[in-house]
Amino acid sequence: NSTASTSRRWTLDDFEIGKALGKGKFGNVYLARERQSKFVVALKVLFKSQLQDSNVEQQIRREIEIQAHLCHPNILQLYGYFYDKDKLYMVLEYAARGELYKELVCCTHFGESRSASYILSLARALQYCHSHNVIHRDIKPENLLLGLDGELKLADFGWSVHAPSNRRRTMCGTLDYLSPEMVEHKIHTSAVDNWCLGVLTYEFLFGGPPFEAPDHYDTYKRISKVDLRFPDSPEVSPEAKAFIRKVCEAPAGRCDPYISALLLIKDASQRLPLTEVENDPWIRAHADPKLLGGQ
Ligand SMILES: Clc1ccc(CN2CCN(c3c(Br)cnc4[nH]c(-c5ccc(CN6CCOCC6)cc5)nc34)CC2)cc1
C-alpha cells in the first residue's frame, strides 16, 4: 500500500544493482545507483532468515537506529533502509577506495603521515560518536573504509551501544582489540574506543596488533596486564614513538624509551582524551590535511 507520509519509501526497484562489493555472513553489499538521482550508494542486503537464526535482529536494529542519526565526514553515512518479505536493505554511503585493511595487508604497515592522518580522523569520528553518547566498540581495520580522496570512513556500527554499558559481545571476532575492562567483563564506557585507537595506532605503525598471542587465553592475559612490547623497528621515528607518551604499564625496562601507551592504559579514566589527539606533537607533525576528509 502506498504510504501517505512525505518521506519516500524506497523499494528495490528504485535502484540499479551493480557488482558485489563484498560478501558477509548475513548477506552481501552491492554497488548500486538510485535511478532518479543517479546517486551511487552501497546497498547492504541482509537475509532476514539468517538474522533470525543468529538472533542478531536486535543488534541490526540498534546499528540502524544509531548510524541513521550520525552525520560526520569520517563516518560512513546510512541514508535509509527498507525491507521486503525476506530481506533487509541498508542504503549506505559508497566508499570509493574500499576497505582499509586490504591496504594494510598489502603494505604490511603504514608510514607515519598516513598513520597519523587516519588516527586523527578516527579520533574526530569517535569524539563525535561519544558526544552523541555512542560507543562504537568494534574499532579495527576491517571496519574502516576509504573515501574517494583516501579519507577514512568509520563503518559497521553493528556492535555500537549507548554508553555506559556492560552488554557483552557474544560473537567472538578478533580479541586483539578488546580493552582490559571488556576482557574482565567490567562495565565499560566510551574509553574502550580510546583503547582501540591505541591498538590501531600500533597496528598501523608496526603491521600487527600489540597483544597478539598464539591462543585466546594468552591474548586475554597480555591485554589484562597491558603487556606491551615494541619491535625495535627503525622505520618508526622517535617522534612517532612518543605519540602516546605516558606512564606505560608494561613492566619497567620492558617499555621502549620512546613509545608508551597513553591510550593503552589499563585505568580507562587515565587514557588520552580524544580531544587531546589533535594537540599531540607527532599527530601535528605528520597528519596530512588532504587525508583528513572534509573538516
Ligand atoms: Cl553483510 C556484509 C557483507 C560484506 C561486508 C564486507 N564489506 C563491508 C564494506 N563494504 C562497503 C561499504 Br558498506 C561501503 N562502501 C564500500 N566501498 C567498497 C569498495 C570500493 C572499491 C573496491 C575496489 N577496490 C578499491 C581499492 O583498489 C582496488 C579495488 C572494493 C570495495 N566496499 C564498500 C563492502 C563489503 C560486510 C557486511
Interface predicted TM-score (ipTM) over 0.90: yes
Tell which atom from ligand 1 comes closest to the C-alpha of 45: 1
pLDDT score of 1 more than 80: no
Residue type, 66: I
Do the Cβ atoms of 149 and 106 come closer than 8 Å? no
pLDDT at res. 247: 26
pTM over 0.80: yes
List the residue whose alpha carbon is closest to atom 23 of ligand 1.
Answer: 98
Of the residues 138, 156, 193, 280, which is catalytic?
138
Q: How far is the CA of 156 from the centre of ligand 1 (A)?
A: 11
Bridge partners (DSSP) listed for residue 132: none
Average pLDDT, the chain: 82
pLDDT at res. 179: 84
Average of per-residue pLDDT across 34-40? 96
**Burial profile 24-62: b = 16 or more Cβ within 10 angstroms, e = fewer:** eebbebbbbbbeeeeeebbbbbbebebbeeeebeebbeb
Q: Where are the alpha helices (DSSP H) in the chain?
A: 48-53, 57-68, 100-107, 112-131, 180-183, 191-206, 216-224, 238-241, 274-277, 281-286
Do the Cβ atoms of 133 and 164 come closer than 8 Å? no
Instruction: Report the distance separating Cα 264 and Cα 226, nearest Å.
Output: 7
Average of per-residue pLDDT across 113-131? 93
Instruction: Report the distance separating Cα 97 and Cα 206, nearest Å.
Output: 23
pLDDT score of 193 more than 90: no
Residue 138 among the catalytic residues: yes
pLDDT at res. 245: 42
Q: How far is the CA of 64 from the centre of ligand 1 (A)?
A: 18
Q: How far is the CA of 162 from the centre of ligand 1 (A)?
A: 26
